[in-house]
Structure 1
């Protein structure tokens, strides 16, 4: 008996990246020589979860592939959380943090090939203020950078550098409080990251202890604007200087802030908040990764 022919559904964000690649055409061209059945869907400017859920259910695909950045992956994952349907990634965003974390090739043809050749792995996620977080969420300095990045007309690392420079001169520290592992923390901080992954899409490692398949996530308390401290740890693998940065491993956490602060999840700016409720979601997603 012949094995069942796979069907893949590609959810394409045409607004991702620099716009110089026609991802739909590239994907269709690749599969002309393959036996795999495919369907493509280009996300409109405004797409609700209900709309996307209806598209995915109608397609009845064996694998669903997010073509875009971390925001596109988050959108697709929200439709498939706690299901067995494998989720693939074709990196097409500005940073592609989760693709880099999982070892997904950034070269387009290799990434397309992986959608049929890759194996699947269950990873956990974090529920942060009712939002699904796959990669990294934070309040404070980096969330402010994301806000300024979104306001600039161009994409890419130069635009990110401009946003970071603006944030460095204009962002102010927050008063935060939370309890982790029996210890109550009250601290002025530049930012607090809730980390499922280990590093941002820029390559900057914020969470050396991160694992995508354990049942904990890390809370990174950055007390100072300590870019050099993070770079030092990234390069030399030395421990944090606890006067500047501390890390806590938890399965659930509530953070309160004295005033409303900037908040982002997986690269999507979500406004200002004065509290964060976060909880681990074990084995929430089934992700396609390289076989080796």
Structure 2
């Protein structure tokens, strides 16, 4: 089965430099390599891979690159794999890919294809974690930064902790309510990246999206909230509500959201849906 590596040379802090030599050294499958030159090109290249009957597309970049590739691969036979080279790499780490680039490339020789869910926001696909509120605010600011990487992302978060909660009205099967929330995350997978888990129990094969509502909380609790996210215990917090649903609608004055870490603006309402068993994933066999 042939693999096509689609490499975003601008992602993260440059871990993908000279990656072609590592691919040549370790990969046992037939393969070729293409590089993106601009935003959105990974989707075009992935569509071409589908048309050519390529078995597996490997996104070499961050969650934004993964999202671009996935858009073309959802509801197609071509599988998606990931080499984590972005600032966060939440989807890759959720799947069980290794943080070390050489080791993650070697993992590809024993990966298996599984079929997972994806999600949509107003019919636009996402595969990992999307949301509205503080995380979208950070995604928008980070997209304007010249310097990438986790450290710069963390500095931005700490700088913006003065962000104020917003009011949202949510409707879903079984209920509706108005909440004042710091953020509402739409979690198909478990984490933003770097093991910052916003929904530690999220399952990409359960036919449900975890809607994580981070309710208003005293500012002095910020260190505890961040600690619980990093330790994978945020779902146990009294300031967190998680609604598992196939579909949910959000009414709000906020227009800014993020899809897999990339900022977008949409008019209210937002309609978020699960798309069950829609994406073939090339992933480590030990990750269930």
2:113 aligned with 1:116: no
Deviations 1:218-263 (A, max 9, x none): 1111112564246347648486444x22111100111000x22421
User: Which of 20, 27, 30 does residue 24 from structure 1 map onto?
Assistant: 20
2:6 aligned with 1:11: yes
Query: When the two structures are superposed, what TM-score results if normalisation uses the length of structure 2?
Result: 0.89
User: Which of 161, 184, 199 does residue 207 from structure 1 map onto?
Assistant: 199
Tell me, yes or no, if the aligned pair for 1:139 and 1:193 is still in contact at 8 Å: yes
Query: When the two structures are superposed, what TM-score results if normalisation uses the length of structure 1?
Result: 0.87
Tell me, yes or no, if the aligned pair for 1:125 and 1:280 is still in contact at 8 Å: yes
Instruction: Rate the CA distance shift 1:290–1:82 in 2: closer, same or farther, 3 A.
Output: same
Tell me, yes or no, if the aligned pair for 2:198 and 2:234 is still in contact at 8 Å: no
User: 1:180, CA displacement in angstroms?
Assistant: 3.0
Gaps of 5+ in 2: none
Tell me, yes or no, if the aligned pair for 2:116 and 2:281 is still in contact at 8 Å: yes
User: Which of 235, 241, 247 does residue 246 from structure 1 map onto?
Assistant: 241
What is the 5 A alignment of 1:223-242?
A: 223-224=215-216, 227=222, 228-229=224-225, 231-232=227-228, 235=231, 237=233, 240-242=236-238
Gaps of 5+ in 1: 1-5
Which residue does 1:104 correspond to in 2? Answer: 97
2:280 aligned with 1:282: no
Q: Distance in 2 between matches of 1:182 and 1:240?
A: 22
Q: Distance in 1 between matches of 2:151 and 2:229?
A: 24
Deviations 1:174-209 (A, max 9, x none): 110012342221121111111111222032221133
Q: What secondary structure does 1:67 align onto?
A: strand
Instruction: Rate the CA distance shift 1:190–1:238 in 2: closer, same or farther, 3 A.
Output: closer
Q: Distance in 2 between matches of 1:88 and 1:37?
A: 15
Which residue does 2:32 correspond to in 1? Answer: 39
After superposition, the CA RMSD in angstroms is 2.3
Instruction: Rate the CA distance shift 1:90–1:136 in 2: closer, same or farther, 3 A.
Output: same
User: Which of 205, 220, 227 does residue 212 from structure 2 map onto?
Assistant: 220
Which residue does 2:175 correspond to in 1? Answer: 183
User: 1:62, CA displacement in angstroms?
Assistant: 1.9
Structure 1 stretches of 4+ with a deviation exceeding 6 A read none
Which residue does 1:196 correspond to in 2? Answer: 188
User: Which of 247, 261, 265 does residue 267 from structure 1 map onto?
Assistant: 261
Instruction: Rate the CA distance shift 1:215–1:230 in 2: closer, same or farther, 3 A.
Output: farther
Count of aligned positions? 281
Q: Highest CA radius of gyration, 1 or 2? A: 1
